[in-house]
Amino acid sequence: MAFDSGLAAVDFSILRTPGKEGELHYLDNAAMALTPDCVINAMVEHDTLRRSNVKRGLHRLAEEATEAFEEARAAVAGYLGIKDPDEVVFTGGATAGINILAHSLGLMFERNDEVLISQLEHHSNIIPWQVIQQRQGIKVRYLPITSDGRINLECAEEMIRSRTKIVSVTHGSNVTGAITDTRNLSDLVHDKGAFLILDGAQTAPGGPMELNVLGADFYVFSGHKVYGPTGVGVLWGRKEILKNISPAIGGGEMIRDVGLEKSTFLDPPHRFEAGTPPVTQAIGLAAAVKWLAGKDLNGMHSHLRRLTLRIMEGLTELSGGIKILGPETGMERLPLVSFSVDGLHPHDICQVMNDRHGVALRGGFHCAQPLHDLLEVDGSTRASLAIYNNDKDVDAFLNGMEDCLKILG
């Protein structure tokens, strides 16, 4: 039976704003997915019945809040397909996760050590390493990309060398949509004794995973792209590595013993959760991943692949200097399409699409300016899909683009 996106859409009140039903074509999911009501309800219920700080309280509410928070950790571990919830660190988002890693792993770097990233990265996987580069004299190097917007993994063997301590790459590009094949990469990284970090901000929304199959040592993602709330994310790390790295961010809730000269830290994950963690948001995130796991995910993937192909084919048929930035096929590709249009600025396209067609898109560099520079385009426009999108959204997008080319071209 064909996948029915309408069955998912009913879970989202935001798609049924009275008087505006059917007017919104939300295609900005790679920036932030909408949130189903059950996620909002789980957070309201928590704050109504169990709100209290976690980990240190000795009263009933504090105990219940701590239990709910740790249950949320277990739910996320389940979603990632890992056995030990203590490998799950709650963060503020993917950016926070990579920064925690850069600063904590950076404590072990020696001058001239190397971090290898790629030209495909989001700023959140570039800037933290550049900060460490400036501070500690390490070198950040870049894996090149192929002409169709994938990381050129053929260069990995030559570029990963004994001084390489970290290889940190996107698992799925928020611009080209390319999904990174990590199987060989993981072997190459580990042969040199380095660690592999995957930025999963765009792949985590694909549904429950078996993280171990990816061969990474660390994986980060953000709650708000997985139908969860803002202000929460996850850093997953192998326990044996997490145990052996020092926290770079200190404060309450992460310590064992504090002295004026020296302090000792709790075991992971608490060691990396300094200060009050995003308790309510973690509970919302757990509700989101459980909700997603209950959907027909195979059906969802084929549905989104079909819609992605429709967008790509539709854009190709429109005349007017449209260039799709990314792999041509719908396989090993995220359900998003970024494109540039000769002579048109992405902001103008987004404005017309919003004002005249109710289509929500994103335009600009998508926090990947080096990539756009490399592709020699002054920004791009991106349509990104989620479980509730349907053919009507794609029709609105394609009709809108035709209109854009007429009135802006």
Ligand X SMILES: Cc1ncc(COP(=O)(O)O)c(C=O)c1O
Whole-number minimum distance, CB 368 to ligand X, in Å? 8
At what angle are helices 297-317 and 391-408 packed, to 10 degrees? 20
**The one among 35, 174, 281, 340 contacting ligand X by CB under 6 A:** 174
**How many alpha carbons fall within 13 Å on the CB side of residue 191?**
12
Collapsed DSSP state (helix, strand, coil) of residue 384:
strand
Binding pattern for the stretch 345-384 against ligand X, x by CB under 6 A and - elsewhere: ----------------------x-----------------
Contact between 180 and ligand X (CB under 6 A)? no
Among 24, 76, 94, 254, binds ligand X (CB under 6 A): 94
Among the residue ranges 37-45, 92-100, 148-156, 298-306, the one whose residues contact ligand X (CB under 6 A): 92-100
Which span sits near ligand X by CB under 6 A: 91-99, 107-115, 241-249, 382-390?
A: 91-99
Among 252, 247, 251, which Cα is nearest to 235's? Answer: 247
User: What DSSP letter does each residue of 129-143 carry, written as one string?
Assistant: HHHHHHHH--EEEEE
Mapping DSSP to helix (H, G, I), strand (E, B) and coil, where does residue 241 land?
helix
Min dist CB 30 to ligand X, Å, is 6
- Residue 164 or 202 having the CB closest to ligand X: 202
Say whether residue 216 binds ligand X (CB under 6 A): no
Q: Which of these ranges, 1-9, 194-202, 373-381, 399-407, lies near ligand X under the rule CB under 6 A?
A: 194-202
- Compute the least distance from the CB of residue 315 to ligand X, in Å: 21
Structure tokens at 190: 């580990």
In DSSP terms, which residues pair with 218 in a beta bridge?
Answer: 197, 237
- 327-346 footprint of ligand X as x/- string (CB under 6 A): --------------------
Alpha helices (runs of H) in 22-93, residue ranges in sequence order: 37-49, 60-80
Out of 201, 288, 307, 396, point to the residue binding ligand X (CB under 6 A).
Answer: 201
**Contact letters for ligand X, residues 238-277 (x by CB under 6 A):** ----------------------------------------
Which sign does the torsion angle of CA 43, 48, 50, 51 carry? Answer: positive
CA angle 182, 94, 96 (to 5 degrees): 130
Q: Does 226 bind ligand X (CB under 6 A)?
A: no
Window 123-142: contact mask with ligand X (x via CB under 6 A): -x------------------
| Residue 29 interacting with ligand X (CB under 6 A) | no
Asked if 136 contacts 106 with a C-beta cutoff of 8 angstroms, the reply is yes
Q: Which residues are catalytic?
A: 367
The contacts of residue 262 (CB under 8 Å, 6+ apart) are none
Closest distance between ligand X and the C-beta of residue 319, in Å? 31
Among 170, 281, 308, 381, binds ligand X (CB under 6 A): 170
Q: Given candidates 66, 176, 182, 202, which one binds ligand X under the rule CB under 6 A?
A: 202
Q: How far is the CB of 163 from ligand X (least distance, A)?
A: 26
The candidate with the shortest Cα–Cα distance to 360, out of 120, 5, 14, 39, is 14
Residue 276 bridge partners (DSSP): none
Can you tell me which of 5, 29, 35, 95 binds ligand X, judged by CB under 6 A? Answer: 95
Ramachandran assignment for 149, one of left (phi > 0), alpha (psi -120 to 50 degrees), beta (any other): left
| Contact (CB, 8 A) for 186 and 196 | yes
CB of 98 to ligand X, least distance (A): 7
Single out the segment in contact with ligand X by CB under 6 A; choices: 15-23, 47-55, 198-206, 396-404. Answer: 198-206
At 316 the three-state DSSP class reads helix
Give the residue with the Cβ less far from ligand X, 94 or 138: 94
Indicate the length of the chain as a whole number.
Answer: 409
Does residue 186 belong to the site contacting ligand X (CB under 6 A)?
no
Which residue in the block uniquely carries the two structure tokens 């539709």? 314
Q: What crossing angle do the helices spanning 127-136 and 94-106 adopt, rounded to 10°?
A: 20
Please identify, among the stretches 143-151, 196-204, 259-267, 306-314, the one whose residues bind ligand X according to the rule CB under 6 A: 196-204
If we measure between CA atoms, which residue out of 78, 40, 34, 11 comes closest to residue 280? Answer: 40
Residue numbers at the binding site for ligand X (CB under 6 A): 31, 93-95, 122, 124, 170, 174, 199, 201-202, 222, 367
